[in-house]
A = this chain, B = another copy of it.
Amino acid sequence: MHVRDIGKQNAERSERRGTRVDPVVPSGVLARSMLGVPIKFGAGSEIYGEGEPVEYVYEVVHGAVRTVKVLSDGRRTIGGFYFAGDIFGLEEGDEHSLTAEAIVDTAVRVIRRRTLIRMAGYDRELARQLFTATSREIARVHNHALMLIKTAQERVGSFLLEMGERISVGDLVVLPMSRQDIADYLGMTIETVSRTFTILEGSSAIALPNARAVVLRDRAALRQ
């Protein structure tokens, strides 16, 4: 499969142009459990690394986060994207199996995982919310896996619809992530992603004011 040179961290410089996602006022016991000042991460910086001990659970205050796994041969996969209000860092075991990186300038709030679990044992509402958060993550990853068995057009369509649900302003989606990120999330090459965008634009399913902005014109067509 595709092998690319990785580790060109300063290529992230230009990510700084990426559009900021509107902050969302966090609600619920889980969110309120995450005390303290939000921690800021610059575009492209690492929030936690693969192999590091799992200590915290995170909530995005504003910005965008990707979880990344790089295979030994250089192939790169993205496990998921997280935006304002989303919980991430829910992993099993003692160490992270993925790396989390800020895509644009991002702020997150954290809680110690052990504290959270202990508190859930006292607080019914928190237990329910923790269950909801983890179940939602299962559903999200499941949906991701489901995407990966589809054709290129279906993958990109599903991706755009998903982003439409999560970060659109009306029909406009401003993508914080690069084509490469999208490609690595969808399990295809950057060229195919680009071509597919062009095809969808040609069939008027979307409009592309610029590379990072997508207008969802015909959601039914994207769903096929």
Please list the residues of chain A having a beta carbon within 8 angstroms of any beta carbon in chain B.
Answer: 1, 69, 75, 77, 79, 90-93, 97-98, 117-118, 120-128, 130-132, 134-139, 141-142, 144-146, 148-151, 187
In the complex, A135→B187 CA distance in Å? 23
Contact partner, A151, options B1, B120, B121, Cβ 8 Å? B1
Q: How far, in Å, is A102 (CB) from chain B's closest CB?
A: 20
Residues of B near A145 (CB, < 8 A) are: 77, 79, 141, 144-145, 148
Q: How far, in Å, is A55 (CB) from chain B's closest CB?
A: 14
Residues of B near A149 (CB, < 8 A) are: 1, 75, 77, 148, 187
Closest residue of chain B to A151 (Cβ to Cβ) is B1
Closest residue of chain B to A67 (Cβ to Cβ) is B142
Residues of B near A146 (CB, < 8 A) are: 69, 77
B135 adjacent to A92 (CB under 8 Å) = yes
Contact partner, A120, options B90, B97, B120, B148, Cβ 8 Å? B120
Beyond A138-B141, A141-B141, 10 extra complex contacts between A and B, CB < 8 Å = A1-B150, A77-B145, A77-B149, A93-B135, A97-B142, A120-B124, A120-B127, A134-B135, A134-B138, A138-B138
